[in-house]
Amino acid sequence: MSQTLLPAYDGPSRVPDFFYDRQTEVIYFLKSINNKKIKFSTKVKLPDLAKAKRVANGLLKKKLAPNKAVVRTLIKDEIEHWFQTKQSEGLKYDTLNNVRRAKNEIAEYWGSMFPSDITRDSIAKWVNWFKQTKPDRQIENNIKYMRVFCRYLAEKVQHGYPLLPAVPKIKNPDYREVRAARKKKKEKILSHDDS
């Protein structure tokens, strides 16, 4: 026995996308969305068309909601892909060495974490960790390449979602001191030439 669906009417006007079964009087929703036929029963009988619309809207939201697939890729894996991308950009040898060094030092702290773990708070913890474990090294390049890596994660999409939903603000806490030291060094060089 085949099912015969007839258009549903609310008074004299036809209600788009709603149909009813002639025998059972159950209201159905039927529509083509993105070239896909979506048909389901609202399990509501005529004449309660308002309730059928509410039920259909609720079911549609569930059917059309994107799958929130959890992205579980580690930073150590993603940073390798990012480094391969940097290698393919044809960077100069010295720049590529800076990127490699920064990649290794970033992976040392962040490697076992997920991209979603990168937040402003965790960036502050990373900066403190870096200063404690590597007091003789400047963090300037690492911060610069961490920013670039975070933008890479924000642009990379898996299952329709970026790996890093929001790029945190990353600032060098030693920026003013480094800048003042460079300016002072520049002044010394200029004053030495003048004399």
For residues 157 and 186, membership in a common domain is answered with yes
150/148 Cα distance (integer angstroms) = 5
Domain count, the chain: 2
> Looking at residue 188, what is its pLDDT?
66
Question: Which residues, in sequence order, are CB contacts of 138 under 8 Å at separation 6+?
Answer: 174, 178
pLDDT digits (tens, 9 = 90+) for 134-147: 888 888 889 999 99
Please tell me whether the peptide bond between 47 and the residue prior to it is cis, using omega within 30 degrees of 0: yes
Give the per-residue pLDDT at 1: 54
From 2-16, 79-93, 158-172, 176-190, the region with the lowest mean pLDDT: 176-190
The token pair at 172 is 């060098």
Determine the Cα–Cα distance for residues 96 and 167; give it in Å rounded to an integer. Answer: 23
Q: Examine the domain organization and report whether 39 and 59 are in the same domain.
A: yes
| Digit-coded pLDDT (tens) for 169-185 | 888 887 788 778 778 77
SS3 state of residue 128: helix
Lowest mean pLDDT among 93-107, 116-130, 181-195: 181-195
Task: Give the residue numbers spanning the domain of 147.
Answer: 75-194
**Cα(19)–Cα(27) distance, integer angstroms:** 6
User: In the predicted model, is pLDDT for residue 148 greater than 90?
Assistant: yes
Spatial contact of 82 and 103, defined as CB atoms under 8 Å apart:
yes
pTM: 0.58
More confident residue, 190 or 36: 36
The answer on 89 and 174 residing in a single domain is: yes
Is there a domain that residue 69 lies in?
no
| Residue 166 maps to a domain | yes
Q: Is residue 178 part of a domain?
A: yes
Identify whether residues 54 and 115 lie together within a single domain.
no
